[in-house]
Amino acid sequence: MAPPLELDFDSCYRAVSARDARFDGRFYTAVTTTRIYCRPICPARTPSSRNVRFYRHAASAEAAGFRPCKRCRPELSPGDPGWDVRGDLVGRALRLIDDGAADEQGVAGLAARLHITERHLHRLFVAELGVGPLAVARTKRLLLAKQLLTETGLPVTDVAFAAGFGSVRQFNATMRETYGFTPSELRATAGPPVTDATLRLRLHRREPYDVEGVFAFLASRAIPGLEVADRTSYSRAVPGGTITLTPRRDHIALDVAVADTRQLARVVARCRRLLDLDADPEAISEALGPTSLGPLVAARPGLRVPGTFDGFELAVRAVVGQQVSVAGARTLLGRIVARAAAPDGLFPTPAQLLETDLTGLGLTNRRIDTLKDLAARLAEGRIDLDGGQDPAEAVAELLEVRGIGPWTAGYIALRALRDPDAWPADDLVLKKRMAALGITDDHIERWRPWRAYAALHLWSSS
């Protein structure tokens, strides 16, 4: 049985008693009398302090024999933003598990992606979470399955494979063993039947959340032929189909139309990163509010740093966007997508871009050379922009690419690597905004470890 993590008991219990939404996703409350674990915001009566245990991760609670609450639904919790701040091996491994790496490649493949041994990875997970990466991956599968069974009419067989299970028998046995009920028994509370190929899931977020700012940012940069976006929705091509994200009162609605639902876990994880749903606006405001950015933070307390659906795609955006307007970059990127003619209208992979003739699209020869060099390094595995590589190492590798300097590498780190402290050095707009606000360069260091959000506040104020 996995031991509880060493969380501050009194602070956690106060958060649970107050149903403090700031702590949602940061820990889970397990009740020894019911053998159920809940989110801090659970509407059920607060249990006696002598009957509760606190766990850092849902997998830790499940390993200790607790089942997820059907009222507060732990599968809807936002992610813990602390892992992005740390950016360490466990944090990167959790991101890859969210992305489906453990389901596709096993724990051995996950460890190889991080360039460490399987034993060392297991040791790190047990030290941090009380359970190994296999248990974390299993909990992720179960919670996704629970959400699909509750919110959709997807057949149980399809749910099993969409959640990452190898067979329906394994799915049924694992759910009964872990949760004490079968998928069919849970289906009694399912939503209305799905009448077409589209699935709709709820992606919960931390409030406040700057919906208009995020969707406007994505809309202004939407690539023709790949994305369609405005201030009220965002759609794009994904492997095997399309997705649409639409803001609702307290969540983002994700509509997925794909031929192979086994990609669903990856789609959900990447949409969460694209919209920066797991950020901690309270911590960011507390850090940046007292600085020279105070008025900007007060005006937009829910500001987010939009991420990307694909790391290589974002890196190409950054290179193409060097010294051109946002509208000009969109045009060039649309031409690249059209020329590459990738299947399903997707953005080309590094290997596909290497085979694509980029002349005659309006790109300079130097820019083409940079894109080819970048694509070659990603195709060879020297650079990993989707979570497997330490952000500092990835930036160092990016700076080795001909034509990529500190601004481009910083922008890629900010949006693709999800480094909350990334700063696009020498950005002309940032310099102009800082000058207009009377902010000197020495203030940049005072904005750590949230300089990425400082950059967005400045960009958004222009």
**Alpha-carbon span 100 to 45, nearest angstrom:** 35
Catalytic choice (38, 42, 69, 271): 38
The pairs formed by 223-232 with CB atoms below 8 angstroms and a separation of 24 or more are 223/317, 223/330, 223/333, 223/334, 223/337, 223/347, 224/330, 224/331, 224/333, 224/334, 224/337, 225/334, 225/337, 225/338, 225/345, 226/333, 226/334, 226/337, 226/345, 226/346, 226/347
**Alpha-carbon span 321 to 389, nearest angstrom:** 24
Return the residue matching tokens 């299993």: 138
User: Bridge partners of 404?
Assistant: none
Q: Give which of 133, 130, 98, 139 is closest to 112, Cα–Cα.
A: 133
72 catalytically annotated: no
Catalytic choice (24, 98, 419, 427): 427
Greatest distance between any 2 Cα atoms in the chain: 71
427 catalytically annotated: yes
Q: Contact at 8 Å (CB) between 421 and 451?
A: yes
How many Cα atoms within 13 Å fall on the side-chain side of residue 291? 26
The catalytic site residues sit at 38, 427
